[in-house]
Amino acid sequence: MNERIEDLLRRAPKAKAPAELAAKLKADITLPRASAPANTVDLWSGFRRWFPGFATAALFLTCLVALGVQQRVLSQLRQEQKQLQAGASEAQQLAESKRAQQEQLRLQAAQLERLRKDNAELQQLRTEITQLREQLQQLPALRAERRRLAAQAKAMETRSGDQDPFGVAQDKAQRIACVSNLKQFVLGARIWANKHNKTLPPDVMTMCKELYSPKVVVCPADTNRPVATSWPEFAGSSYTILSPDVSPNRPEVVYVRCPIHNNVGMCDGSVTQLGPEHEIVKDETDHWIVRRRQ
């Protein structure tokens, strides 16, 4: 059936198209013009197409900028670290220099203190030399006093039979009281020496705090000297210190002497009543000792 239709169609005459048909069809066909929304859509689609690349480039540039900033900050930090290290080194050098200066000042202070002590010892030695010179000047007077006392003792012995018993008893009592005073005198001197480098005091006022009263430094037989009741009223002692600044460990050395009774207080604290058969002389160390008359 179909073949017959196709055969009929082949045999049918061909129709001719009108001459104006092609021109009319061309005139009737109008092409649509490009509008602005289409351009906007094209731009947005292009932007969406290139956005990943732009974003990657922007991220890359941002990373580069961040790396540059970090490198700059690291460079500044390294420079600051170097400056801090240099400052720490300078501070350490200054500290060492300061310690060296302090050590030098300490050594200078020690030397200065040693010089002061040496100067004080020198002044003390000069004072002792002055005292020794004064004692040497008093030596002739002491010898004359010794001779006078020896003569007085001999005269007392010759007159002992003529004296009344009351005077003899009074003299004996005064001699015993003088011995007691000298014992307290030497005891106070030894107490003072224990506090001051083991040397006996040079005078009475130096050790007055070790004596309970100024009465113990005045002989009961010394009626020409007023007896003070307190140290501010003290007017002098009856006893003579023969060996000032001597060590208390020399028992043979005479420290103090009573010129009236010829009683002597030794450096070891003992007190001796000397008779006419004894005398006080200097030994080879220039200290006073007791010996029997030759």
- What share of the chain has pLDDT > 70, as a percent? 80
Domain boundaries, the chain: 71-156, 167-292
- List, for residues 16-29, the tens digit of each pLDDT value: 666 676 677 667 66
Query: What is the percentage of the chain residues whose pLDDT exceeds 90?
Result: 11
Nearest C-alpha neighbor of 131 from the set 242, 268, 258:
242
Q: In terms of pLDDT, which residue wins out, 35 or 196? A: 196
Region 258-277 average pLDDT: 89
d(CA 243, CA 265): 11
Is residue 60 very low, low, confident or very high in pLDDT (cuts 50, 70, 90)?
confident
pLDDT in tens, 200-228: 999 999 988 888 888 889 998 888 888 88
- What pLDDT is attached to residue 47? 67
Q: What are phi and psi of 144, to 5 degrees?
A: -65, -40
CA angle 268, 198, 267 (to 5 degrees): 20
What pairs with residue 266 in β-bridges?
254
Among 80-89, 153-162, 192-201, the least confident range? 153-162
Cα separations in angstroms, 277 against 200, 270, 283, 292: 28, 19, 18, 6
Mean pLDDT confidence for 83-97: 87
What is the four-CA torsion angle of 183, 187, 189, 193, rounded to 10 degrees?
Answer: 150
Which one of 3-7, 46-50, 218-222 scores highest in mean pLDDT? 218-222
Confidence of residue 13 (pLDDT cuts 50, 70, 90): low
